[in-house]
A and B are shown apart, each in its own frame.
Chain A
Amino acid sequence: MRLQLDIALAHLRMRKRQSIVSLLGVSLGVGFFIAIAAMMQGFQQYFVAKVIDVSPHIIMKDEFRAPPGQAVTIAYPDGAVRLEGVKPEDEPRGIKNGKAKVAELSRLPGVNVSAVLIGQVILRYGSKDVSASLVGIDPQRERLVTHIEDDLISGRLDDLYGTANGLILGQGLAAKLGASRGDTLTALSTAGAILKMKVVGVFNTGITTLDNVQAYALLKKVQVLQNRVNVVNEIRLRLADVSQAEPLARRIEQRFAYRTESWQESNRNVLGIFVIQNGIMYSTTGAILVVAAFGIFNIISTVVMEKTRDIAILKSLGLTHGDIELIFLFEGFLVGVVGTLLGWLVGYGLTEVLASIRFDIEGFIRTEGFRLNYSFSNYLFAGAIAVLAATFAAFLPARKAARLDPVEIIRGAA
């Protein structure tokens, strides 16, 4: 084995420039994969963590996935029934018997529950009218369900109790209004009610869609403003075990019929983008490795062609088919291994560079730089793929070399 390895090394050393180019191909493929994976997974994990941290894990809404069936179609399921001009029942919106449902859900182990009323309002401050989504909460329960309290950059959640008509604004919303803590503004609801409200706090979750439109007030006040006393239209759950969200949401929906979404379902659009992102990442870095593999194929084919005499003499000296094949497989393998090691350095360096970049973006979430995921398994994965690709690229020329007929070559050379 040592002999074959030495010969392989000698061949690579002799073609220094091509070897280095092949090495660079492999190491760039590995390095970019590591850096891009760190960036993408970092962002994705940060987003998911933020979502899990900030939003409820399960939300029950006052709507149904399928409209209720008409009595006549239920009575004659196989009949040819056609109804025209049916108006939907003018059902009062809101979750019926919300208190009992909250009580029942609270009995589930590892679950915290709060009931809220969410409604659109216009917030008016000075000359500015900004529409907002006003959430009526019970602060005692809400702090168990979302971490809004931790995201307050001014004021406290309990200030809602202490102030008449207290209001907590998202940072983006406050900026649009030009209002800050202590200011009094006017809230107008679609029900026609008007309420003077005082800003007692500002929060910043980092999730742009929340910070720009959401505001919090006491449940009772919002019910008055919306003219829907004792009504809630969302029941929010927080679970000790996040992974149970999806099955539990299905069970709750079966039990109560109201549309119930897990955090995965609520964020399906974004999570779907992540799947596409990952696909793009794998195909891009895969393409780099394929190009590198062609480079390796090329260099080893060239070496085989240049070294036909040496191959012939090695065979006449008593090296076998297998020995010759091994020599050239080693060459691919070596390029793969050394390229991987270099690639790990490149990947680590790139990740560090990315980590040091500071900027302010507002996408799904607000962040001041790349969120990076330092995962050793990415290193192993990229390395394994690179070594496999490099060895595989060497396979065809190696087999060709092993099959060369020494007599033909020696006859031709003499």
Chain B
Amino acid sequence: MPEVPVLQARGLTRILPGTVPVTLVRDIDLSIGASEFVAITGPSGSGKSSLLYLLGLLDRPTEGEVLIEGQATGDLSDGDLAKLRLTKLGFVFQFHFLLPEFGVLQNVMLPMRKAGGRDLGEIRARAEQILIQLGLEDCLAKMTDQISGGQRQRVAVARALANDPRIILADEPTGNLDTKNAGIVFDILRNLVREEGRTVVAVTHDANLAARTDRRIHVVDGRIVAV
């Protein structure tokens, strides 16, 4: 029996309604397995981010559907989708999007607190462990505006890992970083695949970084043109 793909898209189409409807993503079929590091590339406006949001259940497709670990999501309620995002998916965006009112540790604890089932001590211990693993042991007690941009993006990765999801979706995760920090974050993402067996799907326009992934999906005008 073949292994069930971790992330699957079937006939995925997203059209923005309006007086002039805009097609963001057109009829995409895609299957991504466990422990795969996939880059989605393409010119700006090609629909690569839109595809990522659809795969991440942030947006609902006009046609087609997304399967997470073989589970169809088309008929799920908003609440069920939120639950899947909480437990099975982790997001990293170009901008770190950390909550400025909370400290580094609190930001990483947040998804675990929402998921519940663990007491605050356990949650804190796990958040510390993830941060230390990502080399952020100096930042544990700091506020988000007391650390560097590269560190913030690593905290965002730590937050994405909080509920131990099998899939990490990253939208230009290195887009705001200098070469050195971009390299660090990229290495972290690759380690998540190599050492922890997670699946990482990253949208990027950086050809050098894309070249270091396992598989590249090139999107133009909402269609996959090369795999």
Chain A interface residues toward B at CB < 8 A: 2-3, 7, 10-11, 13-14, 309-310, 312-323, 406-407, 410-411, 413-414
Contact = CB atoms under 8 A, between A and B. Distances in A.
Interface stretch (B88-96, B127-135, B193-201): B88-96
A414 B171 contact: yes
Contacts of A317: 85-86, 91, 110-111, 114, 159
A10 B98 CA distance: 14
B101 A13 contact: yes
Contacts of B86: 317-319
B4 interface: no
Interface core residue of A10, A11, A321, A410 (most chain B CB under 10 Å): A410
Interface string B41-68: 0000000011001001011000000000
Contact of A310 (B84, B97, B111, B172): B97
Given A315-B82, A318-B86, A320-B78, A410 B114 contact: no
B37 to A, nearest CB: 21
Contact of B49 (A2, A10, A411): A411
Given A320-B82, A411-B49, A10 B101 contact: yes
A313 B99 contact: yes
Contacts of B95: 309, 413-414
Interface in B156-188: 159, 163, 171-172, 175
B59 A320 contact: no
A410 B93 contact: yes
Contacts of B175: 414
Contacts of A10: 99, 101-102
B162 to A, nearest CB: 8
Contact of A319 (B58, B82, B93): B82
B114 A414 contact: no
Given A2-B113, A407-B59, A318 B93 contact: no
Contact of B114 (A3, A13, A407): A3
A7 B101 CA distance: 8
B87 interface: yes
Contacts, number: 80
B83 interface: yes
B56 A14 contact: no
A312 B56 CA distance: 13
A322 B94 CA distance: 27
A2 B78 CA distance: 22
Interface core residue of A314, A320, A411 (most chain B CB under 10 Å): A320
Contacts of B115: 318
A388 B195 CA distance: 53
Given A317-B85, A317-B159, 10 more contacts: A7-B101, A11-B101, A309-B95, A312-B97, A313-B93, A313-B97, A317-B91, A318-B115, A320-B79, A407-B59
Name the prevailing secondary structure of the A interface residues.
helix
A315 B83 CA distance: 10
A370 to B, nearest CB: 46
Nearest to A411: B49
Nearest to A406: B58
A11 B100 CA distance: 10
A323 B78 CA distance: 12
B82 A318 contact: yes
A7 B111 CA distance: 13
Contacts of B111: 317-318
Contacts of B91: 313, 316-317
A309 B159 CA distance: 16
For the complex of A and B, the 4 pairs showing the least CB-CB separation, nearest first, are A318-B86, A10-B101, A313-B97, A318-B85
B118 to A, nearest CB: 13
Nearest to A14: B101
Given A320-B78, A320-B82, A315 B58 contact: yes
A13 B101 CA distance: 9
Nearest to A12: B101
Contacts of A318: 82-87, 89, 111, 114-115, 163
Contacts of A7: 99, 101
A3 B99 CA distance: 13
Contacts of A414: 49, 93-95, 171-172, 175
A277 B82 CA distance: 54
A404 to B, nearest CB: 12
Contact of A316 (B49, B85, B100): B85
A10 B95 CA distance: 21
